[in-house]
Amino acid sequence: MIGQKFFSQAHTEAASPSETQDKGQRERKRHPVLGPRFWKISLILVAASLVGVGSAAVLPQTMAIAAGLTVFCIGFWALSVAPEYWPALAFFAIAILSDIAPAQTIFSGFQSSTFWLLFSGIILGASIRHTGLGQHIAVLLSQILGQGYARLISGIVLLSLALAFVMPSSMGRVALLIPIILVLADHMGYGPDSSGRIGMVLAAGFGTCLPAFTILPANAPNMILAGMAESLYGQHLSYWEYLLLHFPVLGAVKAGILILLILWMFPDHAPQPQTTSLSEEKTVLTFDEYHLLVILGLCLAFWFTDGLHHISPGWIGLVAALYCLWPETKLTSAKCLNQEVNYGALFFVAAIIGLGAVISATGLGQALTERLSDYAGFDPDRPLWNVVVLTALSTVVAIMTSLPGVPTVMTPMAQDIATLTALPLTTILMTQVLAFSNILLPYQAAPIVAMMQIGAVPVRAVVKLCLLLFVIGLTLLIPLDLLWWHVLGKF
């Protein structure tokens, strides 16, 4: 034993420089914490600590902790140094142990309609795959869109945007579209992790969410803004005036830019439809596929008419998911809940919603906005400056809370800001749309998160597209939209 130990030590000491280097590389592989991820984690922890400690000097303790926790979570999600569910679970643990908000607020994500709409979307997607219905829909879409990759991406974006005019919930649209797009990608010859598959999912998710901020009933922040404007100020936002003000630039032009960016960032070969999958095996719908079509049709009917019955899309989706999970319906596999549900995605969404609720409950978003407003330099003689500053304030709120947080925080202040700036109240309210339609990171928008999770899209790809669209929004789209506002006489 002693001889063996001595021989091993002598061999190590006599190792060549290249062998020593290889050993160091193997050691780093065995200890990945010593690599780039270690420095990213260190940066996040230092930034969160500095924000938390620095905020404590000017803010109450609960707000300071909430600020540090926000930087912690956003840092982990943005830099992708851990699976999305890890910072989500860490949020629940830190928030509940620090007692910065009631447990009901911290875990409010699990009670939200958005959470259950994502769950139902996963189940409906599994049912679409299990019954084979998605394959039939994919063949139909391929006949319409499958003449080239550019036409395919353009068609998906336009189809997704068109659906926003008739279906009010962006989460519902994502839950319905993404499973079908995944089957379509398989049918078109775009396998897992291919650029074409990623581009198709992003075209559907971003196409049905971002331009839809210009369609009044199509997204949650729009409806929150409309509801609060009416309840606080008696301002009724007209569907057509809202569409005219925002859609030409933030809807149509942004959709065109989205198509160009996806074609540039995720290029791929022309579609290669799998012609044998249905033509040789089956040409008519089975009973199970007809059965599922009826369920999806009922879902769509209730989603379309939510203005009449006022039932949240999440609860409609949950009822449909429960029906599909019932064994006798044979619309899902027996092990669907155990094998086909991504619980990490559900924890991720619940944490994002809970984080926004904590920020709101502690008053952090309101305090931040008020302090920034003190330094805004509003001037009745500079209307353009006032609009730009208001857009910047709303953008900060969107980053610190989430997109629905913008109307929640900014709308109660609108009348006071209108007095300071001498701008019409409607103009003050509409600056919020410039902010919550321009997403910096995916965590801000639950539908984008849902798309990312249901479609299994790499976080890095989504973040890159968000960042590019955000920069283009700031430098091109918002200035163009403000010019359009000026033409319409809004300021």
Q: Provide the mean pLDDT of the chain.
A: 81
Is the pLDDT at 26 greater than 60? The verdict is: no
pLDDT value, residue 168? 65
Q: Region 100-107: what's the mean pLDDT?
A: 91
Q: Region 291-312: what's the mean pLDDT?
A: 79
Is the pLDDT at 121 greater than 80? The verdict is: no
Q: Region 182-202: what's the mean pLDDT?
A: 89
Identify the band that residue 34 occupies on the pLDDT scale cut at 50, 70 and 90.
Answer: low
Residue 361 CB coordination number (10 Å) = 18
Identify the band that residue 89 occupies on the pLDDT scale cut at 50, 70 and 90.
Answer: very high
Higher pLDDT, 14 or 410: 410
Query: And the tokens for 135?
Result: 């394959």
Is the pLDDT at 371 greater than 80? The verdict is: no
Least confident segment among 40-54, 67-81, 246-260, 428-442? 67-81
Least confident segment among 161-175, 271-285, 382-396? 271-285
Please enumerate in sequence order all residues whose Cβ is within 8 A of that of 480, keeping only pairs 6 or more positions apart, or say none: 249, 253
**Would you give the distance in Å from CA 51 to the centre of its chain?**
25
Go through 97-134 and write b for each residue having 16 or more CB atoms within 10 A of its CB, e for each that does not.
eeebbeeebbbbbbebbbbbbbbbbbbbbbbbbbbbbb
Higher pLDDT, 304 or 478: 478
Least confident segment among 30-39, 89-98, 126-135, 230-239? 30-39
Q: What is the DSSP letter of 402?
A: -
The pair phi, psi for residue 458, each rounded to 5°, is -60, 135
Identify the band that residue 265 occupies on the pLDDT scale cut at 50, 70 and 90.
Answer: very high
